[in-house]
Structure 1
Amino acid sequence: MREIVLDTETTGLDPLLGDRVIEVAAIELENLLPTGRVFHRLVDPERDIPSEATRVHGFTRDDLRGKPLFPAIVEEMMAFLGDAPIIAHNAPFDFGFLDAELQRAGRPRLDRKRMVDTFAIARERYPAAPNSLDALCRRFEIDLSERGTHNALLDVRLLAQVYLELRGGRQPGLTLAAETSAGQQDSAPIAAVAGLTRPRTPHPILPDAATLAVHAAFVARLKDPVWLQPPFAETARDG
Structure 2
Amino acid sequence: MLDTETTGLSPLNGDRMVEIGAIEVLDRKVLSSDQHVFHQYINPERDIPAEVVRIHGIDNAKVKNKPTFKEIAQDFLNFIEGATLVIHNASFDLGFIMHELRLNGFENIQDMQVIDTLAFARKKHPHQRNNLDALCDRYDIDRGMRDLHGALLDSELLAEVYLGMTGGRQFSLGMDIPSLPASSFVQLPEQSRGRDEQAETAKIMKRQSPPIADDEHEAHLTMMQRIHEESGGKTVWHHPELAEAS
Give the TM-score range, shorter chain. Answer: 0.5 to 0.7
SS of 1:39's partner is strand
Residue 150 of structure 1 aligns with which residue?
149
SS of 1:103's partner is helix
The equivalences for 1:122-141 within 5 A come to: 122-141=121-140
Paired amino acid for 1:44: N
Residue 56 of structure 2 aligns with which residue?
57
Q: Deviations over 1:169-212 (max 9, x none)?
A: 2459xxxxxxxxxxxxxxxxxxxxxxxxxxxxxxxxxxxxxxxx
Aligned residues: 168
Q: Deviations over 1:76-112 (max 9, x none)?
A: 1001001211001001100000011101210133225
Q: How far apart are the structure 2 equivalents of 1:113 and 1:44?
A: 26
Residue 66 of structure 1 aligns with which residue?
65
The equivalences for 1:91-110 within 5 A come to: 91-110=90-109
Sequence identity (%): 46
Native 8 Å contact 2:7 2:52 kept in 1: yes
> Which region of structure 1 is more displaced relative to structure 2, 102-111 or 152-161?
102-111
Q: How far apart are the structure 2 equivalents of 1:75 and 1:147?
A: 29
Residue 113 of structure 2 aligns with which residue?
114
Higher strand fraction: Structure 1 or Structure 2?
A: 1
From 2, 7, 11, the equivalent of 1:15 is 11
Native 8 Å contact 2:83 2:112 kept in 1: no
Paired amino acid for 2:84: P
Q: How far apart are the structure 2 equivalents of 1:113 and 1:6?
A: 13
> Which region of structure 1 is more displaced relative to structure 2, 7-16 or 104-113?
104-113
What is the deviation of 1:34?
1.4
Q: How far apart are the structure 1 equivalents of 2:136 and 2:130?
A: 9
Give the TM-score of the pair, scaled to structure 2. Answer: 0.66
Q: How far apart are the structure 2 equivalents of 1:115 and 1:148?
A: 28
Paired amino acid for 1:130: R
What is the deviation of 1:149?
0.8
Higher helix fraction: Structure 1 or Structure 2?
A: 2
Native 8 Å contact 2:90 2:115 kept in 1: yes
What is the deviation of 1:11?
0.2
Native 8 Å contact 2:28 2:170 kept in 1: no
Q: How far apart are the structure 2 equivalents of 1:109 and 1:95?
A: 11
Native 8 Å contact 1:95 1:110 kept in 2: no
Q: How far apart are the structure 2 equivalents of 1:122 and 1:169?
A: 15
RMSD: 1.4
What is the deviation of 1:59?
0.8
What is the deviation of 1:129?
1.0
Q: Name stretches of at least 5 consecutive residues in structure 1 with no aligned partner.
A: 173-239
Paired amino acid for 2:13: L
Q: Name stretches of at least 5 consecutive residues in structure 2 with no aligned partner.
A: 172-246
SS of 2:147's partner is coil
Give the TM-score of the pair, scaled to structure 1. Answer: 0.68
Q: How far apart are the structure 1 equivalents of 2:74 and 2:65?
A: 19
Residue 23 of structure 2 aligns with which residue?
27
Q: How far apart are the structure 2 equivalents of 1:136 and 1:16?
A: 30
